[in-house]
Structure 1
């Protein structure tokens, strides 16, 4: 693909090839010094950032910017594939082939002769196929679940998988009781180490409560963060209207402004 084709291409079916060619050019001698210096390890923060920015766009329902964020995320896949191709490990075609083959393999009810017809059945079948593929038949059931995920998401995934084999509370009341128990145990912890352990147990139980309500703990926590930031800004504005800065206001004045902001 020449320079003219790289800078503008009207054929929609060629855009992925164009993206790969641009990435190759950026990494080649005479290309971009920054791109040429990158490694799989140096790009990890970029990959995480782009994933979270895409998630944020989805949560806000910002469809106008979703295409852009997905493009930034796709670039990370292409970039890592280019690095792997340079090392002779794999290339973008092999990445695409791998996920295509996996999707076909794990959907035998669509591409094969499996008779599964419900969502629960599909998920159970997926897990069974996945464990067989990874040779995890003789390994602990929760082996490898969610490694690399943020802690709240991993807790939810561990709990959800454990529940699939019946290891679960019979109802929400039991979970709420467990949360209260963990609060009491945290309050009575007599050392920093014990407090850390009990607080971890408390957070784990709260995640379980979210699961029972069908709530995503990450989404719930993000909403709480946004609410706190919004109310804090409102509190700050009320203090400013009273001629006070955050540094000048005392705890009682802040609390009064906070309660006013909540109302």
Structure 2
């Protein structure tokens, strides 16, 4: 691996390139924090894809894209004299030192759970009125539910055993069925949300990341459906002209394909 000096030189090179781009490139000169926002979100998702695929070469590339965006925002901040990359680095360094008193002070913790609990207590001392204040409003709903549950667990608002959570899932499913029978669309949606929330909670107790689990199923479905499409193409028969029974034959074949 590279030495610390080489790492710092590489970072300085990136800062120099960012200066050049901001000064000389018509596209880079026009960008604002607002115009970069959606691109940053896209780059973050691309990094997430690479991590799910465990593609280390792609992870390295996507980390570079995300780092570029961080440097870009800091460059814009320096132009308005609000902050620069040093301020960004020092801000996170100060926060990490403050929130890790078990490393930088004399606080003693016995496990990861105590670290999380101390983290939330420190954030409340910093002026937050709610442990949920730090959950971004724009997070996708599934990810947001996971973060909400992690946050409240850190202050002790949680079930004790997995079976209790599963019982809650079953209770929510029964309530959903009642509303389905009543055909009340608004109440069905509300109860369906409760089912999803309780399932995400159950996943946490099973130490399963629900986002990763769902994406794994998405990829599996895509692979099988595309196999079905390829077989239909070989037959010269559009999918819409095939019966469900015909399609199911190829679907079952797809399920037996070797995993990559």
96-105 vs 142-151, which moves further? 142-151
User: How many residues are treated as equivalent by the alignment?
Assistant: 249
How many angstroms apart in 1 are the aligned matches of 2:30 and 2:50?
Answer: 30
How many angstroms apart in 2 are the aligned matches of 1:145 and 1:11?
Answer: 36
How many angstroms apart in 2 are the aligned matches of 1:20 and 1:49?
Answer: 22
Question: What residue number does 1:74 align with?
Answer: 67
**What's the offset of the Cα at 1:159?**
1.4
Within 5 Å, which residues of 2 pair with 1:1-263?
12-28=7-23, 31-133=24-126, 135-136=127-128, 139-187=129-177, 188-189=179-180, 190-263=183-256
CA 34–155 in structure 1, closer or farther in 2 if over 3 Å, else same: same
Segments of structure 2 that go 5 or more residues without pairing to the other structure are none
**What's the offset of the Cα at 1:117?**
4.3
Preserved CA contact (<8 Å) 2:165 2:201: yes
Higher helix proportion: 2
**What's the offset of the Cα at 1:124?**
1.8
| 3-state SS in 1 of match to 2:33 | coil
78-87 vs 123-132, which moves further? 123-132
Preserved CA contact (<8 Å) 1:109 1:116: yes
What is the aligned-residue RMSD (CA, Å)?
2.1
How many angstroms apart in 2 are the aligned matches of 1:192 and 1:53?
Answer: 35
How many angstroms apart in 1 are the aligned matches of 2:162 and 2:112?
Answer: 23
Segments of structure 1 that go 5 or more residues without pairing to the other structure are 1-9
TM-score, normalization by structure 2 = 0.87
Deviation beyond 4 Å, 4+ runs, structure 1: none
How many angstroms apart in 1 are the aligned matches of 2:110 and 2:228?
Answer: 53
**What's the offset of the Cα at 1:14?**
2.2
221-230 vs 164-173, which moves further? 164-173
CA 144–111 in structure 1, closer or farther in 2 if over 3 Å, else same: closer
| 3-state SS in 1 of match to 2:240 | coil
- Choose between structure 1 and 2 for higher RCO, CA contacts under 8 A separated by at least 6 residues: 2
